[in-house]
Amino acid sequence: MMIQPLGHSIISGFWLAQLANIVIIAFVLRMLLKYLWRTPAMPVILMFIIILVFANILGGLGFFTFTYLLQLLTPILFIAVVLIFHEEIKDLLGSMGRNLRRFTGHADIIERSEIESLVESCVLLRKLRLGGLFVMERDESLENVYGDPVMLDKLMINPPVVASLLQPPGLLHDGAIIISNGRIVGARAILPLSRRTFFGRSRMNRPRPALGTRHRAAIGITEVSDAIAVVVSEETGNFSIAHDGILEEAIVLDEFGKRLVELTSEREKN
């Protein structure tokens, strides 16, 4: 009579299912923490978790009445969090969808020669002490994201043209320039500002100073879409790039064009 081994084989379907569960939960938690960590929703979520842990501890100590009351309040608190932070939840779901779509995206964003023209335009803006904000569309259309733009007829990216668009007191110098498929298709676009209250530390590991409107708008548009934003600071002349809600500041000229090529080529590789 053969004795059947107890438990499940390591390579059995049971353990594979458990491993898949762990991977999925870890991925979801990572996305939640990555997006919500520096948003106003994070303290509320932490308090919600503390209440749940506290309720379990009290239940183990025999405080059943208090635990019962907390269990009654839990669904109400959950609904309140969803209602109060529905914008953050919507942005989080959109971010997760964009990350999944990267495996199938093949958008032709911009040619290398057009990137060189954009870099030359930024250099000219710095010489003229002009600020600028450029947004490059990728897979997602930005028509429902930016507000009140002046639509242009697919202008080539040309430094003198860009400088003339952003030269005060011209009507188009405020707002962002929209680039789609390597052409300027809009100007004076109003972008959503980032709702985050903390933006990390600078490259020198010092607290990052308060960001201006252009930089907050660059982060904001990349939080709600898969676009790439380029900022030329009017005060310092520094070049910055925003993508996926991340701001890369004070990029030196030699690395500026290379970094844009890397970011715009990522989608083609995937």
What's the CA gap between 37 and 39, in Å, rounded? 6
Mean pLDDT, residues 106-111 taken together:
59
Percent of the chain with pLDDT over 90: 21
Complete domains list, the chain, with CATH: 13-101 (no CATH), 112-269 (3.40.1700.10)
pTM of the model: 0.62
What's the CA gap between 214 and 148, in Å, rounded? 16
Tokens read off for 233: 């600071």
Mean pLDDT, residues 248-257 taken together:
89
User: Would you tell me how many other CB atoms lie within 10 Å of the CB of residue 190?
Assistant: 14
pLDDT at 206: 43
Report pLDDT digits (tens) over 140-152.
777 777 777 788 8
Residues whose CB falls within 8 Å of the CB of residue 256, separated by 6 or more in sequence, listed in order: 119, 122, 239, 241
Q: Which range, of 34-38, 84-88, 100-104, averages the lowest pLDDT? A: 100-104
Q: Over 60: is that where the pLDDT of 7 sits? A: no
Q: Which tops the pLDDT comparison, 48 or 23?
A: 23
Q: Over 70: is that where the pLDDT of 204 sits? A: no
What's the CA gap between 46 and 43, in Å, rounded? 5
**In the structure, what pLDDT confidence band is assigned to residue 207 with cuts at 50, 70 and 90?**
very low
pLDDT at 198: 55
Highest averaged pLDDT of the listed ranges 7-11, 71-75, 210-214: 210-214
**In the structure, what pLDDT confidence band is assigned to residue 196 with cuts at 50, 70 and 90?**
low
Alpha helix segments (H runs only) across 128-196: 159-166
Task: Measure CA of the first residue to CA of the last residue in the chain; give whole Å.
Answer: 55
The residue to which tokens 């790039």 are assigned: 241
Q: Which range, of 135-139, 142-146, 160-164, 173-177, averages the lowest pLDDT? A: 142-146
Report pLDDT digits (tens) over 113-140.
889 999 999 999 999 999 999 999 887 7
